[in-house]
Each structure stands twice: as C-alpha cells, then as structure tokens.
Structure 1
C-alpha cells in the first residue's frame, strides 16, 4: 500500500490535480456564499459539502489507480450497461430529478447522481476496448469504423431527451478523437464529421428554447435578450469586466449575490475572474492546461511502449476533460452558446468531481503500467512493432 502511495506521489499528474482540487474548493467557497446563506442560512454550506466531495474524490482517485487495466477491461460491458440504465432511469418521473427544466440526476435518498457522468466514462472504455479488439477492421473497413457509433448514438439520443446537449457533444467528441487516433481513414472520418455537423445543426434548431439561446449568444445585449435568454451571459461578461487585471478581491464579488445564476456551478470561473482578475483566470487556465498536457504525455508514453488499450483510455479521458474545459470557458466568456457543463475540478457538484478524480486515477494507472514496459523499437513505417 505504501509503495503504491509513493508512486502516486511521484506521478506528474498528482501535483497539478492536487492544486486544482484546492483551488476549486476556494472557488466554490467564495462563489457559493450568497446562495448558501439564502437557501440554508449558512454561507459555508456548499463549501462544506464540496469539501466532502473532495474527500470522496481523493478516495475515488486512489481506488481507480489501484485497479489494473486488465480488471478495468473486464468492467467494460457492465459499465456500458450501467451507463444505459442510468440514462434511461433518469427519464422516469420520480426517479429522475429535474432541475431548471432538465432531468439529469438520479434521485437516491441520500445523494443525487448525474447519469451522464457515468455514461461518458463507460463510452471511453467501450471505444477503447473496441479499438483494441477490432483495430484492423476499424482501419480497413468503413463498417468497422461505424459499428461502435451506433451504440454511442443511442447514448446521445438519451442525453438529448434529458435534455443535455453539452454532455452529448462532449461524449461524442471524445469518442471521435479516440477513433481518429485508432487510424481511421481520413476520407471516411471527415465525411462522418460533416454528417455529425449537419445533425448537430438540426438538433440545435429543433427546439424553440435552443434557437432562443443561439440568438441570445449572437447578440446577448439586445433588449429582447439581455433580461431573458441572454441574461446569464451578460452577467458573466459583467463579472469579467469588473475583474480587470487583478480582481476586486477574494470574496468581494458582487455578481455572485444573485445577479449571475449558477455562480457556483456552470459559471464559477466568471466569479473567480471577477475576484482575482485576468491574473487569477490565467493561473487557473494554466493549471488545467498543464494537467491535460500531462494526460496526453501519458497517451504518448503508453503508445510508445505498446500499451494501446491504456493509450486509448488516456486519450479518451484527455479529450473528455479538454472538451469540457473548452466548452465551459467558451460559455463563460461568450464564445459559445450557454450549455449546462461544469468546469472539471472547479465547479460545485459531487458526481462530476468524483468521476473526474477517478479518471485521473485511471490515467495514473495507465502511466504506471506503461512505465513497467520497455519502449518498442520504431520502424520506418512509423508504427510500433
């Protein structure tokens, strides 16, 4: 046990993850004071709960890092089945918990679980296992490339029924990156990308509320949007503007006092930028970028040492986290339409935080097993033999 703790502490993913966890706690503790006092009379209510989630996240990282990749491989189908069951149950009244018009949480008495978080991790393992088992078929036949997408499309449709368009984009995007790294023919891949783009446009324009969000994104300051569908974005931009270079001071945000909805979840970064300014915002982004870069370094190491299953898993996790970071930050600063996606390690939320920590534990396991293998000899064809 102590030997395992030592290799975890030496792992290059450990320090940035730990710093992100601490910084995220500070963010939530500051951003949630107003809503905590209003709902419970205790300004520290959400900070305390987030602290509990942090401890659960630490436990999740440790447990995930102790499970061998061979054992994870045996969990592929059960995880996929659980992912589908969760996405189906969340649509059942009384079981699925509805917040702000979206039914995304499974309502267990003591806690609520966001079904999409488990589904995303299950999809990563499913695609990784499929690529290892059917790699020649994926590279040589169009049908081999398309088959796993049927499973993913069903997941995406279930997510859109919640509705959770953001999670659907992240799940499908991460899977597409995994397939691309698997060596799919470029023509087939880009043809599918075009088709996916067309279907995304159809999904965006199929519901009135999505069209309203899109219009508000294009011009949030318009009189018909500024106090309606564009309200969150305009308040977020005001928070960034107030932060200037070095912020108004930790805990001194005005926007978190019921001006900016979801200040401690989807828009926690806007509050952080208001309180710490451009300097604090860039520091947080640098930490997130550093962690994602280390994950992709693990992908390279695993590939170089022939641990393809681990490489695909790490690539899926790196893509998932990177896409979620880009989308959340893009929403906060107005580059993307508003989506209900949390910022990994920063936003308040038990399911997202614990699963994100488990993902880092899995990547650490990939790195550990890869480092036990010798580097494979590289030949002129560019592949590991």
Structure 2
C-alpha cells in the first residue's frame, strides 16, 4: 500500500516545493521608475511655483497635487506588483476592452463627464479628474497582447485576423476623435497597434494597405478642424505669429536655447515665470532644458532609453520562456513609452507639431501618472513571475536529477550476490536464517573485501568440514 501511494506523495511534495519558490522584481526597471519619478517631483516643484502664485493657490499647490498623484500611483503599482495574476489579466482582457469603450462614453454622462479647455475628456472622480484616454492606452495594449498570444498563427497567415487587431484600434480611435477630439492619443494608439502586429509576426508588406487606408482618414480629421491646420502651419514657422498661436512653441524654443550646455541652474528659469504656458505639464522638458541644459536633457533621454530597453529585454526573455502574453505586453508598453516620450520631446524642441501629450512619470497630470505607474506595476509583476518560472525550472531539473540518482540505487543493489560458502555447522535453524537485504550484503562484501586487502597476507590452513544431514554425522 505504501508503494502504491509513494509516487503520488512524492509528486505532491514536489508540487509544494515548486509552489514555495519565490520570484524577484527587476531592480533596473524599478530604479528607472524611481529615478524618473524623482526628476518629475523636482521639475514640477520648480516649474509650477510662478503659475500657482499667479492663480492665488500657494506656491507649492501643484507640487502637493503631484505628490498625491505619485503616492496614489505607487499604491496602484505596489498592488499590481504583489497581487496581480498575469494569467487572470489575460483571461479578462476582452472585458477590459469593453470597459475602455464605456469609459470613453462616460464623459457625456451629466454629473460624471467634465469639460476643460474646449474638450470633454475628463471624468470627475472627486479627488482627481480622470482622463479615460490614458486608461485606454494601457487597456488596449493588454487586449492586443492577449489577442496576439491566442491567435498568433492566424494573425500571421490571415488577413481577417490581422484586421481584427487594427479594427479594434481604429474603432477606439474613431470614438476618441469623435467624442473627445484627442488626435494625439489616436495617432499613438494606431501606431502602437501597428507595431505590435509587426512584432507579432505580420509581414510589413501586408500592413501597407491598411495603413494607406487610414492615412487619408487621419488627414481628413486634421483638415476639417481649423485649429489643427493653424497648429500645422505655425509649426513650420512659429515666428509668423509669436504672440498668437505660435506663442507656446516660440517660448519653448527660447527656453531650450537659453539653457545652452549646462543650463542656468535649478530654479533659474525665466520662461516658467508665466511666459511659457503649461510649463509644468506638456512643456516641462523646455523648463528642464533651460535649467539643466543640453547635458540634463541627455541624462533624461538616457533614463528613458534605459527604461525602454529594459522593458524590451524583459519581453524577449518572456518569449524565450514561451510566455507570450507577458512578452507582447512588455513590447506594447515599451512602444507606448518610447513613442509618447519621443512625441513629447519633439513637441518641446519644435520637431513635431504641438500636441497635448505628457512626458511619462515627469509631467504633472494625475491620470497619466496613475496609468503609467499601473503599467510599471504590471511590468514588475511580469519580471517577478519570469524569475519565479526560471527558478522553478531549475528546481525541477534538480529534482529530476535527484530522482534519477535515487532510482539507480536499487538497480545497483538488486544485482544477485554470490552464493555463500557452505556453513560449517549442522544446525538447521542457522541454515534457515533469512538472507540479508541486498544493500547490506553489498556493504558487507565491500567491507570484507577491504579488510581482506588491508589485512595480513598469511592465512591459517583450512580444514574441510563435511556437511551434516541430520543422522549423527553419517553420510
């Protein structure tokens, strides 16, 4: 009975040992997040003082709000790091996509939706005004990663499967443009979808036709709005109207130029003194360039490059371990971070037309901070589960080797021992003594052989003793 249940008990013990294995968070990724967050705290405090005083809110009003957003974001990040199950996240990805559409439409519900600066993009949550478009970015990446992991072969070989991914992005983009007039997030969403499909295995020539069909639609959305055409025209020559529609860009360029190589020092910016609008949000990089110069901007770009490269490396490690959903999730978040950072920096230095995209983890903005920290929490959870899987694989190999070694011991012991010499006694009870177990016999033979080799070489003459048959010693 014990032999029957032994394999099952052994398997249960192995499962308990594997479940007890813990993972480890990626230290480099966490350090990048903390470093960028620290830069953001310093720059928001420096760039928002003049604006807060001008509005009669106290010099550190926006800084305190930013600290509150960071603390809430860190709480979300820690919750996802320690409590989120990536497999469950993949399971509910379709419901999350439905939630994204609901959030975009909630802005039109009276009492919940909130409009500012001519656009209805915010939800009034009491403590903060939440922008659903920020959540849509992360939710769409989660859904796309799940879609690619489930239908990878179909996406590579079928037009319809490929168009489903682009169709979801296009539908979200139409809602964003029609309901919230958020052109920047629309372009970011479509670009992220296209890049994730390419990473998922779609051949580039097959992407040409869908992209060619979307470009005229985007151009039409630009042309139909006069303010977008003005932004495009003044982007080409902002000095045409430096005190009108080109005011933001010209002041941003002056701030960048004034910083030169080393900057004017922390707190020494002039453009943040109510000259540069949105100095603590969309144009915070211009203030950083003025105060820390070209060197400071290069250090910031290096931090973002390290962050994105680490996320890509994490995704590659997941794919090598055949963990495709976490891998695609990492790739999508890396594309999101890289493109949004590039667009924000490009707007600040005049490389791209003016758009309202924040600098991740640095700019002031509760919604952006919350969702970026949520994305970082998911990535850190992925790194923990990946390290745990590696340790489990190593432990399983170790247990397999131990099992093989243990299985070889009975095979060696099961070899038949040589027949013992006849006993020099006629005692039948001693003749019927049970044979010793094989391992002990083998051990006795080894010990006897060692003693015979290490003992003296001379032997006493042996006397032949005939066996007894129980009749008085007569044969």
Instruction: Please say if 1:324 is aligned against 2:340.
Output: yes
1:315 aligned partner? 331
State the 1:187 CA deviation: 1.7
CA displacement 1:58-79 (0-9 Å, x = unmatched)? 1111112221211211331232
Give 1:180 shift.
0.8
* Cα contact 1:331–1:338 (8 A) shared by 2: yes
Match of 1:165 in 2: 183
Deviation at 1:4, TM superposition (A): 11
1:103 aligns with 2:102: no
Provide the C-alpha distance between the structure 2 equivalents of 1:6 and 1:299, rounded to a whole number of angstroms.
17
SS in 2 for 1:293: helix
Selected match of 1:195 from 201, 210, 213: 213
Counterpart in the other structure of 2:420: none
Q: Distance in 2 between matches of 1:62 and 1:109?
A: 23
- Give runs of aligned pairs for residues 45-56 of structure 1, distance below 5 A: 45-56=61-72
SS at match of 1:255: coil
Give the drift of 1:370.
Answer: 2.4
- 1:156-200 CA-partner distances (Å, limit 9, x unpaired): 012112111111111111121111111112221122222233322
Show CA shifts across 1:337-379 (max 9, x none): 0001000001001110111011011112222222334599xxx
Equivalent in 299, 304, 307 of residue 315 of structure 2? 299
What's 2:273 paired with? 257
Displacement of 1:246 in angstroms is 1.2
Q: Is the 8 A contact 2:24 2:388 kept in 1?
A: no
CA distance in 2, matches of 1:41, 1:51: 16
Structure 2 CA distance for partners of 1:51 and 1:5, relative to 1, 3 Å: farther
1:1-385 residue pairs with structure 2 within 5 A? 7-8=24-25, 11-66=27-82, 67-92=84-109, 94-161=111-178, 162-222=180-240, 225-373=241-389
User: Separation in 2 of the partners of 1:13 and 1:53?
Assistant: 20
Distance in structure 1 (CA, Å) of the matches to 2:23 and 2:171: 42
Contact (CA 8 Å) 2:21, 2:388: kept in 1 or not?
A: no
Counterpart of 2:411 in structure 1 is: none
Runs of 4+ in 1 over 4 A off after TM superposition: 3-6
Q: What is the deviation of 1:7?
A: 2.6
SS of alignment partner, residue 238 of structure 2: coil
User: What is the SS of the residue equivalent to 1:210?
Assistant: helix
Answer yes or no: is the 8 Å Cα contact 2:319–2:327 preserved in 1. Answer: yes
The structure-2 alpha-carbon separation of the partners of 1:333 and 1:367, relative to structure 1 and needing over 3 Å to count, comes to: same
State the shift of 1:41 in Å: 3.5
Deviation digits for residues 197-218 of structure 1, max 9, x if unmatched? 3322222222111111000001
* Residue pair 1:301, 1:367 contacting (<8 A) in 2 also: no
Query: 1:23-70: per-residue Cα shift (whole Å, max 9, x none)?
Result: 110010001001111223411111111111111121111112221211
- Equivalents in 1 of 2:204, 2:279: separation in Å? 41
SS in 1 for 2:115: strand
**How far off is 1:267 after superposition?**
0.3
Shift of 1:121: 1.0
The aligned length equals 371
Q: Which structure would you say has the larger Rg?
A: 2
Give the CA RMSD over aligned residues: 2.0
Query: Residue 144 of structure 2 contacts residue 165 of structure 2 at CA under 8 Å; is this kept in 1?
Result: yes
Q: Offset at 1:89?
A: 1.5
Give yes or no for contact 1:106–1:115 (8 Å, CA) kept in 2.
yes
User: SS at the partner of 1:324?
Assistant: helix
Give the 3-state SS of the residue equivalent to 2:357 in structure 1: coil
